[in-house]
Amino acid sequence: MTRLIDASLQRLSFIMAEMGDMVVESISLAIDSYIDGVNTKDKVLKLSDAIREKYFEVEDLTFEMLLKYQPVADDFRLIRSSTEISYAFSRFGRYAYDITLVRDLFGDVSECKNASLVESSKKVKHMIREAVLSFAELDVRKAIKIREGEKVIDRIYKERLPKLIESDDTKCALAEALVLRYLERIGDHAVFMSDAINYIVTGKHRPSEERIASHTKN
């Protein structure tokens, strides 16, 4: 039986899917532009602004649903967490733009040694895609894997930073340190997002393995 709230929930899912697509595109553009030396600042800024507008749209819609429909527990968790996840999406867009500003400030840095940066960026892009999918599918297994990916990004950041401090190539070291920091922050927000997905599905932000397994789709 169709409920009055269902149309609004479908609208919410559509907006969140749009935000997810824009987030993946903005981060991919920003990272690839830094590594390949292509200026995508204007494109990423446009995407970042659009993601921010969607965030406000989600806020308005969720507030409206809470006032009009008095949602049951499952719906309430989805509505509440959608606000938190949409905020994480807006931060992803901003960090993507910040990465393009690094490239804009330092110029073409494609000649710098970027092995650690490439490894981190690949992990981040994979995490973001998994985060978007885990929300769309409400798949807690994908959400758990996001936390595992964040540990890899943290490790790279902590291992690489002391080497950059000792580097004689100031330009490359500063640029890489800034971008690695932004990637590390993106990873942190992805973990926050994974906790919100766990909360939607299980009612717990960090549930046990048994509780996760009991809610995993076959």
Vertex 134: Cα angle to 116 and 199 (nearest 5): 110
Q: What is the pLDDT along the chain (218 residues), one digit of tens a residue?
A: 778 899 999 999 999 999 999 999 999 999 888 888 888 999 999 999 999 999 999 999 999 999 999 899 989 999 999 998 999 999 999 999 999 999 888 887 878 877 888 889 888 888 888 888 888 888 888 777 888 888 999 999 999 999 999 999 999 999 999 999 999 999 998 888 888 888 888 887 664 455 444 444 43
Q: Check residue 39 and report its DSSP letter.
A: -
- CB-count burial class (<10 Å; 0-12, 13-18, 19+) for 81: buried
Euclidean distance between CA atoms 183 and 186, whole angstroms:
5
Single out the residue of 47, 53, 52 nearest to residue 29, CA to CA.
47
Euclidean distance between CA atoms 94 and 97, whole angstroms:
5
Positive/negative CA dihedral, 122, 190, 182, 37 = positive
Euclidean distance between CA atoms 27 and 13, whole angstroms:
21
What are the residues whose beta carbons fall under 8 Å from the beta carbon of 57, sequence distance 6 or more?
15
Euclidean distance between CA atoms 179 and 99, whole angstroms:
6
Compute CA distances 178 → 35, 124, 200, whole Å.
13, 15, 34
Residue 218 confidence (pLDDT)? 39
- Inter-residue contact 212 to 150 (CB < 8 Å): no
Domains with residue ranges and CATH for the chain:
6-215 (1.20.58.220)
**Neighbour tally for 99: CB within 10 Å:** 26
Angle between helices 6-36 and 170-202 (to 10 degrees): 160
Vertex 64: Cα angle to 62 and 66 (nearest 5): 70
What global pTM score does this model have? 0.86
